[in-house]
């Protein structure tokens, strides 16, 4: 596959080197087209050496090859990362003052923009309008991540992790549909922790991989995604808004807040069923004799609460639960689907080496009022896509 990597002049240009390597190492032919400004951050020799192809920001080099038309026409994908406010504006208005903007005008393949800029620039009405124009024309514009920017400031504007941009690009190259465009979805991921004292907690083994795969695939399918992440150390999925929580109480607050106006809520988080009745303010010291027992109290069941609320007030059209079972997997799952009032329940067997922390998973998706769907053992992304297929069918 022929990929054009457009690089515009932002400090995040250095991160595009990693994106370039991800493409070349997976067998893609990459032509890097930087802007003049991008070369102030990372020089042409770096791009040429890493891509194995000539590099110029100008239309005036190798004119006999008509690069301003040929590069765009031959591409299977154009990705601009980082995309500055300036390049978004030029692309939206069809300006063509350099090789990259010419390429954007001549490309007939899918185009992905990964913007990175200061929050003020990203939120400026001019940039909002340019992004809306590009999206209307079919370009994929990934919402920037929230976090530390160039200086001490933080906010939306960071370039997503290159590996996450790469995953989005692969999905676009494979022609995966953007069938969740306009849908608002909430995904919870990870495992909650219940504090015993300032240094100890009761937790579980959830890595967050399945919830992150759900958030990543939903964003790549066009949804507006809020990911409520409990104690996960993975990079933010490209395009998702991430809310970080620790305890079940925090997870509940964040999920309920994000659910207002959402079309879909997926509870993939492993939620602690119990928490210590009291939390010591200071570290519990070792004492002579028997240690004190930790008394537990029940946590609220967030999934069941979402189902109950929906019975009395407007709520998400589709609620998806997960069930981790070690035995009697299907029977327990059916009972749980009914008890929690959700529309889909993804049941997987957990235990030694199964599901937790592994990149692959198999599951049975129980469907309220329908037949169960078996999802064979495979990447957690494939299970996520199977869930979104079923969700999509219920939304339409």
Active site residues: 204
Does position 273 bind ligand CTP by CB under 6 A?
Answer: yes
Distances in whole angstroms, Cα of residue 200 to Cα of each of 176, 193, 210? 44, 9, 26
Annotate 272-304 with three-state secondary structure.
CCEEECCCCCCCCCCCCCCCCCCCEEECCCHHH
User: Based on the number of CB atoms within 10 Å of its own CB, is 53 exposed (0-12), middle (13-18) or buried (19 or more)?
Assistant: middle
Residue 344 binds ligand CTP (CB under 6 A): no
Q: To the nearest whole angstrom, how small is the minimum distance from the Cβ of residue 302 to ligand CTP?
A: 3
- Provide, rounded to whole angstroms, the least separation between the CB of residue 216 and ligand CTP: 18
Q: Does 301 bind ligand CTP (CB under 6 A)?
A: yes
- Residue 269 as a binder of ligand CTP (CB under 6 A): the answer is yes
The nearer residue to ligand CTP, 301 or 308, going by C-beta atoms, is 301
Q: Which residues from 364-383 bind ligand CTP, rule CB under 6 A? A: none
Task: Pick the closest to residue 73 from 42, 114, 31 (CA basis).
Answer: 31
Q: Which residue lies nearer to ligand CTP by CB, 273 or 308?
A: 273
Closest CB 231 distance from ligand CTP, rounded Å: 14
- State how far the Cα of 2 lies from the Cα of 65, in Å rounded to an integer: 17
Give the C-alpha separation, 303 to 323, whole Å.
11
Among the listed residues 75, 85, 238, 324, the single contact to ligand CTP using CB under 6 A: 324
Q: How far is CA 109 from CA 29, 77, 181, 239, in A?
A: 15, 6, 20, 21
CA angle 48, 52, 54 (to 5 degrees): 50
Site membership for ligand CTP, residue 47 (CB under 6 A): no
The residue among 384, 27, 4 whose CA lies nearest residue 220 is: 384
User: Using CA atoms, how far apart are residues 180 and 223, in angstroms rounded to an integer?
Assistant: 5
Q: Which residues fall within 8 angstroms of residue 174, CB to CB, at 6 or more apart?
A: none
Q: Does 166 bind ligand CTP (CB under 6 A)?
A: no
57 vs 321 by CB, closer to ligand CTP: 321
Check binding of 79 to ligand CTP (CB under 6 A): no
The least CB distance from residue 134 to ligand CTP, in Å, is: 36
Nearest Cα to Cα of residue 263 among 343, 334, 322: 343
First vs last Cα of the chain: how many Å apart?
A: 34
The region of 33-41, 59-67, 174-182, 321-329 touching ligand CTP under the rule CB under 6 A is: 321-329
Choice between 100 and 186, CB closer to ligand CTP: 186
Q: Which of 299, 337, 385, 388 binds ligand CTP (CB under 6 A)?
A: 299
359 in helix, strand or coil?
coil
Given 258, 323, 375, 383, the residue binding ligand CTP (CB under 6 A):
323
Q: What's the min distance (Å) between Cβ of 306 and ligand CTP?
A: 8
Closer to ligand CTP by Cβ: residue 10 or 321: 321
Distance of closest approach, residue 260 Cβ to ligand CTP, in angstroms: 17
Q: Is 384 in the site for ligand CTP (CB under 6 A)?
A: no
**186 in contact with ligand CTP (CB under 6 A):** no
Task: Establish if 308 lies at the interface with ligand CTP (CB under 6 A).
Answer: no
C-beta of 100 vs 345, nearer to ligand CTP: 345
| Least distance from ligand CTP to the Cβ atom of residue 238, Å | 24
Rounded distance, CA 227 to CA 44, Å? 38
| Rounded Cα gap, residues 283 and 254, in angstroms | 28
Residue 300 CB neighbours (<10 A): 13
Binding piece for ligand CTP, criterion CB under 6 A, among 87-95, 112-120, 265-273, 356-364 = 265-273
Least distance to ligand CTP from the beta carbon of 159, Å?
A: 31
Dist. CA 100–CA 78, nearest whole Å: 10
Q: Which stretch binds ligand CTP (CB under 6 A): 72-80, 233-241, 269-277, 355-363?
A: 269-277
Our finding on whether 321 is near ligand CTP (CB under 6 A) is yes
The answer to whether the CB of 15 falls within 8 A of the CB of 90 is no
- Residue 41 CB: number of other CB atoms within 10 A? 18
Residues in touch with ligand CTP (CB under 6 A): 267, 269, 271, 273, 299, 301-303, 321-324
């Amino acid at each position: 596959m022929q990929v054009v990597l457009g690089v515009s002049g932002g400090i995040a240009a250095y991160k595009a080197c990693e994106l370039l390597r991800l493409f070349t190492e997976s067998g893609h032919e990459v032509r890097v087209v930087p802007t003049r400004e991008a070369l102030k951050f990372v020089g042409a020799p770096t791009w040429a050496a890493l891509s194995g192809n000539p590099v110029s920001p100008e239309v005036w080099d190798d004119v006999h090859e008509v690069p301003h038309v040929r590069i765009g026409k031959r591409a299977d994908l154009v990705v601009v990362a980082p995309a500055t406010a300036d390049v978004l504006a030029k692309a939206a208005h069809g300006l063509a003052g350099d090789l990259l903007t010419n390429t954007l005008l001549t490309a007939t393949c899918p185009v992905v923009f990964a913007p990175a800029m200061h929050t003020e620039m990203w939120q400026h009405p001019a940039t909002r309008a340019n992004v809306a124009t590009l999206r209307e024309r079919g370009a994929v514009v990934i919402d920037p991540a929230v976090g530390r920017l160039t200086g001490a400031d933080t906010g939306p504007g960071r370039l997503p992790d290159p590996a996450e941009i790469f995953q989005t690009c692969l999905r676009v190259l494979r022609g995966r549909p953007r069938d969740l465009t306009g849908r608002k979805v909430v995904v919870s991921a990870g495992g909650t922790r219940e504090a015993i004292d300032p240094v100890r907690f009761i937790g579980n083994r959830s890595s967050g991989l399945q919830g992150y795969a759900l958030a990543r695939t939903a964003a790549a399918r066009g949804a507006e995604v809020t990911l409520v992440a409990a104690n996960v150390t993975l990079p933010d999925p490209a395009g998702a808004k991430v809310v970080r929580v620790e305890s079940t109480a925090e997870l509940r607050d964040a999920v309920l807040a994000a659910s207002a106006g959402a079309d879909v809520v997926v509870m993939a988080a492993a939620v602690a069923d119990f928490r210590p009745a009291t939390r010591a303010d200071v570290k519990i010291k070792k004492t002579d004799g028997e240690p004190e027992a930790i008394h537990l109290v029940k946590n609220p069941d967030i999934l069941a609460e979402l189902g109950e609320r929906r019975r009395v007030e407007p709520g998400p059209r589709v609620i998806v639960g997960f069930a981790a079972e070690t035995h009697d997997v299907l029977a327990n799952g059916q009972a749980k689907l009914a008890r929690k009032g959700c529309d889909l329940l993804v049941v997987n067997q957990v235990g030694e080496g199964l599901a937790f922390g592994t990149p692959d998973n198999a599951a049975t998706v129980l469907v309220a009022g329908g037949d169960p769907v078996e999802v064979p053992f495979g990447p957690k992304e494939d299970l996520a896509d199977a869930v979104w297929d079923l969700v999509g069918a219920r939304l339409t």
